[in-house]
Chain A
Amino acid sequence: MPEEFSLAWLLVLLPWAGAVLLAFLKGEVLAARVNCGVSAAGFLLALVVIGEPFAVQGWTRLDALNLPLLLVAALIGLTTAIYSLGAVETEAFDTLRLRAYHAAFQTFMGAQALALLADNMGVMWVAIEIATLASVLMVGVHGTPPAIEAAWKFFILCGVGIALALLGTIILHLAAQPVTGGADGLSWAALRAVAARCDPGVLNLAFVFILVGYGTKAGLVPLHAWLPDAEAEGPIAISAVLSGLLLNAALHAVLRVKAILGANPDVVPPENLLLALGLASVLVAAFALWRRRDARRFFAWSSILHMGLAACGFGFGGAVGNLAGLLHMLGHSLAKSAAFFGIGAAIRLRGSQRLADLGGLCASQPALGWALLVAVLAVAGLPPFALFASEFLLLAEAASHHAWAVLPLGLGLLVAVAAKITVGQALCLGEARPDLAGPAPGWTVLGPIWLHLALALLLGAALPGPVRALLGEAAGVAG
């Protein structure tokens, strides 16, 4: 048990308590409202945590690297719960599935918060495993054959992934064991402090397993196969949190281990491996985007692209590269979940998730159409949103220190941006398709979208001073 109880634990325990409660609630609207309430409380708690001093307390730590990710995660948890409040009726859950869905959602929220907060690498691993199990349940909740296939693939691939991550964690301990004698052998702070005296070969081996393991969860090519399937199935709210939160938690875990290796001068630079996987993700995803016919799969591939870009940022390393990667993770979470909210509302209106059936939203549903168009442009990385700022930083860093990377990176970005603008145009401005009967999307859709876009704008166009300082410090933590 942790020696001290920190406020941060409440961020984990509150959603889990909510999950227990929601597992017993039968009313559809009541459960969705309680879900919102728990998420709102979690968000307020995250705001309170800002005031906490940066420190290690028992198994948890709070520092500049996980604080911004936690805040964005809590916000997206809240907006997704609000979106889900409006969408839950159309999912046509029976009572059991309704309870499973809400309980799994809050379990996931708590587990990803723990994965971000954990100082102990073992606890981090358990948290990511719990988050995986909860999201498998949410992906397969409808029980249709495609949903079961997606959930099965997710389960098996990520099962192998997290198993390898555990092996990496064990090897990390093995590396530190001769130095620490086993005490605190899994604490990130302790590992980082002794990394310089650890055997570099063992550290290399640990990083390879961690990268392959958590990289599977982060959706990096060639370990990405589960992601498009998983995001195409299950309630759309799940796609928003999978893209926005789970991928970030996994990449954050890789970053922590990269920082440990960064403290030892004799290791093979972990940046090289990250950069290789990142560039592969960018290139594969950029071309794959052109061949998608399913809207949710399209945005899932875009998540692979953006995770690749963030990995490139961390692969360049240094203050600028890490800053670009972090800003990219935050901007991607905000923009992508906004796009998923819009796409979810459109899918509900048209009764299909094929891109061809979703065209012409601006004509039939102007409020939704324009919001979605702006969200797609934000995802595409056009100015003035956060992804533009981070991609600009990324290219600038590549041009100044890694000139060879400019060509593949620029090519991938160009191809991807063109694909997204094409799809955005077809979705929103093309010829209108007939809508099914049903109410127009209300505030539960439009509110979250515009809120996310406003924040992405703030991050991109006018990065406030304290946020800039925080991200700068975080870039230092990431090594």
Chain B
Amino acid sequence: MTFGQLPYDVAHLLGGGMLLLSFMLLYQRRVGAVVNALATQGALLAAAAAWQGFVQDAPQLYLTALIALGAKAVLIPLALRLLIRRLALARGVDTALGIGPSLLAGVALVALSILVALPITTGVAAMAREDLAIALSVVLLGMLMMITRRNAILQVVGLMSLENGLVLAAVGVAGMPLVVELSTAALVMLVLVVAGVFVFQIRGRFDSVDIALLHPHRGEGG
């Protein structure tokens, strides 16, 4: 499969769209817009999984797509929006590293993943290796977001985007066993993270989800 063939082109388009949305996550300045970008990325992931299910003739991938669509494009973004409204969280994005430098670092990470993934995977099918390069970029950009954002909720968004990259990698590898189980298990973790924020906030332990406020509790003081 090479450039110019439909299965390859569509997979590439969807993966590229996810990567673009990872960059959008990095440059948005409002939390609401970040959540929208995350939801769109989830929808694209669902489309990518369904496309792979069609191309590889693997019906279980449709299930992965359905779960991704329901949870990542609809339910989790809704929960996050509810969380923001209910807790009256600040709508602005509080950055540890400015938007411009974050984007530059993001470009560097994409270059890194291409440099890492493409040369060493020459023995692997073309679709799998370029998929891997894109997925690796999404994963690294998710990590970058977790590092450069200070609000707990944006760190959760970063973790979710990272996990979107993982599922993209998993569906791109032909014949991967347990894809549905593994992606569901990873999703359970994310749901619990969101639930954790939810529960602790509703109990009013902290006035803000800014994790810098947690540091006084690090212990060993005094």
Contact = CB atoms under 8 A, between A and B. Distances in A.
Interface of A: 120, 122-123, 125-126, 129, 132-133, 143, 145-146, 148-149, 151-152, 155-156, 159-160, 162-164, 166-167, 169-171, 173-175, 177-178, 181-186, 199, 201-202, 204-205, 229, 232, 292-294, 297
A425 B196 CA distance: 41
Interface in B161-175: 162-163, 165-166, 169-170, 173-175
Nearest to A183: B175
Interface of B: 116-117, 119-125, 128, 132, 135-136, 139, 143, 146, 152, 155, 159, 162-163, 165-166, 169-170, 173-178, 181-182, 185-186, 188-189, 192-193, 196, 200, 203, 205-206, 211, 214-215, 217-220
Contacts of B123: 178, 199, 202
Contacts of A178: 123-125
Nearest to A127: B185
B124 A120 contact: no
Contact of B186 (A152, A156, A163): A163
B177 A166 contact: no
B139 A205 contact: no
Contact of B128 (A177, A183, A186, A232): A177
Q: Which 9 A-B pairs have the closest CB atoms?
A: A182-B175, A201-B120, A199-B123, A146-B217, A122-B178, A149-B214, A149-B217, A126-B185, A145-B217
A201 B119 contact: yes
A126 B181 contact: yes
A174 B152 CA distance: 34
A160 B173 contact: no
B109 to A, nearest CB: 14
B126 to A, nearest CB: 12
Contacts of B193: 155-156, 159
A123 B185 CA distance: 10
Contacts of A175: 124
A201 B117 CA distance: 9
Nearest to B184: A126
Given A163-B163, A166-B182, A229-B219, A133 B176 contact: no
Given A122-B182, A152-B152, A163-B166, A199 B124 contact: yes
A167 B164 CA distance: 11
A156 B128 contact: no
A174 B124 contact: yes
A125 B124 contact: no
Contacts of B136: 167
A452 B135 CA distance: 46
Given A122-B178, A122-B181, A173-B173, A152 B211 contact: yes
Given A173-B173, A174-B132, A174-B173, A145 B214 contact: yes
Nearest to B214: A149
Given A177-B124, A199-B121, A201-B120, A186 B189 contact: no
Contacts of B146: 156, 160
B205 A202 contact: no
Contact of A177 (B174, B188, B189): B174
Most buried by A among B155, B176, B200, B205: B176
Given A182-B175, A185-B175, A129 B189 contact: yes
Nearest to A232: B219
20 contacts: A143-B203, A145-B214, A146-B217, A149-B214, A149-B217, A149-B218, A156-B159, A160-B146, A160-B162, A163-B139, A167-B135, A173-B173, A174-B128, A177-B174, A178-B123, A183-B175, A185-B176, A186-B176, A201-B122, A232-B219
Given A133-B192, A160-B159, A185-B175, A170 B120 contact: no
A120 B219 contact: no
A297 to B, nearest CB: 6
Nearest to A291: B220
B136 to A, nearest CB: 8
Nearest to B156: A156
Contacts of A297: 219-220
B174 to A, nearest CB: 6
A312 to B, nearest CB: 27
A182 B122 CA distance: 18
Nearest to B171: A170
Contact of A205 (B120, B143, B176): B120
A126 B159 contact: no
Contacts of B169: 167, 170-171
A118 B178 CA distance: 14
Contacts of B162: 160, 163
A122 B219 contact: no
Contacts of A162: 189
B217 A174 contact: no
Given A133-B189, A149-B214, A174-B121, A167 B200 contact: no
Contacts of B189: 129, 132-133, 159, 162
A122 B186 CA distance: 11
Contacts of A163: 139, 159, 162-163, 166, 186
A182 B177 contact: yes
Contacts of B124: 174-175, 177-178, 199, 202
A293 B222 CA distance: 9
Contacts of B139: 163-164, 167
Nearest to A201: B120
Contacts of B125: 178
Contact of B205 (A148, A167, A186, A294): A148
B173 A177 contact: yes
A177 B165 CA distance: 20
A143 B185 CA distance: 25
